[in-house]
Amino acid sequence: MAKIEINLLPRELRGKRRGIAFDRGFTLMAAIAGILVVLFVGVNVLQSIKLKGLNDKIAEAQKRTDELRKNIELVDALTEVKDKVLQRISAIEMLDRNRAIWVRVLEDLSKRVPDYLWLSFLSEEESQNEATSDTNSDSIIISTRLEPPIKKVTIEGYSHSLNSLASFLIQLIRSQYFKNMELQYAKRTELKAYKGFSFQLVGDLYYLPEVESPVADTAIHELASENKKKDSKINLAVREK
């Protein structure tokens, strides 16, 4: 048989027991919330420790990077200084190597400047030696003619008359250092109270060796033969003018 239970407690006690049941549920929820808070705080503390360790490593790496950057800047500065020093050494070596040649070239040039003419500019540029090829019926022989180094030369200056300019050009053609000299322009200009001409000549400058050699002799003979032909043409042109 089923038992019938009757609650004979007054209503005040009945309500009090319900309140006690409610308090237990609230306590359980509070305990769970507290556990969650503790876990959250623990996780935050652990993450903070890890983050601090990462920040320390980042700071150390940044410090190392700054030190390496300073070393790199120092190496770059030393490399730049080295390049400048090497360039100066190369320029000095080139000047020293061609010093004797330039003395002879300028001495020869000064002797060929006529009266009423003076120079204002002289420069040189790199050029390549010419190569010639000889052919016959039996075989084809390609030979490179041995020549001294050749530089492209530019000469500028002023002259009181075209006759002085023509005389200077003839003298240059007779020189063993200058070849294929051509007049680029001759412009009438005023030199203070005088009238004259500004001019520019372009040609080849031969760096003939100081000592005698078959190469130098061959080059000088070739220049002499070509200069005679050009000399006669220029004299004829001057006479016609």
Q: Which amino acid is at 56?
A: D
Kindly state whether residues 66 and 36 are assigned to the same domain: yes
Domain CATH code at residue 181: 3.30.70
Range of the domain at 71: 11-97
The reply to whether 3 falls in a domain is no
The reply to whether 145 falls in a domain is yes
How many Cβ atoms sit within 10 Å of the Cβ of residue 184? 11
Using the 3D structure, point to which of 42, 66, 97 is the last residue of a domain.
97
Q: Mind listing the pLDDT tens digit for each residue in 76-99?
A: 889 999 999 998 888 787 767 667
Q: Mind listing the pLDDT tens digit for each residue in 107-128?
A: 999 999 999 899 999 988 876 5
Q: Mind listing the pLDDT tens digit for each residue in 167-218?
A: 999 999 888 899 899 999 999 988 777 788 999 999 998 877 654 444 444 5
Kindly state whether residues 48 and 150 are assigned to the same domain: no
Kindly state whether residues 135 and 92 are assigned to the same domain: no
Helix-helix angle 214-240:162-174, to 10 degrees: 160
The reply to whether 166 falls in a domain is yes
Give dist(CA 241, CA 233) in Å, integer.
13
Kindly state whether residues 144 and 192 are assigned to the same domain: yes
Kindly state whether residues 123 and 55 are assigned to the same domain: no
Give dist(CA 233, CA 236) in Å, integer.
5
Using the 3D structure, point to which of 46, 70, 97 is the last residue of a domain.
97
Kindly state whether residues 121 and 230 are assigned to the same domain: yes
The reply to whether 72 falls in a domain is yes
Phi-psi map region of 75: left, alpha, beta (phi>0 left; psi -120 to 50 alpha) = alpha
Q: Which DSSP string corresponds to 123-159? A: EEEE-----EEEE-SS-EEEEPPP---EEEEEEEEEE
User: What is this structure's pTM?
Assistant: 0.45
Q: What's the domain count of the chain? A: 2
Token readout for 131 is 């190569």
Kindly state whether residues 144 and 90 are assigned to the same domain: no
The reply to whether 150 falls in a domain is yes
DSSP state of 115: T
Identify the three-state secondary structure at position 59.
helix
Kindly state whether residues 124 and 236 are assigned to the same domain: yes
Using the 3D structure, point to which of 45, 69, 97 is the last residue of a domain.
97
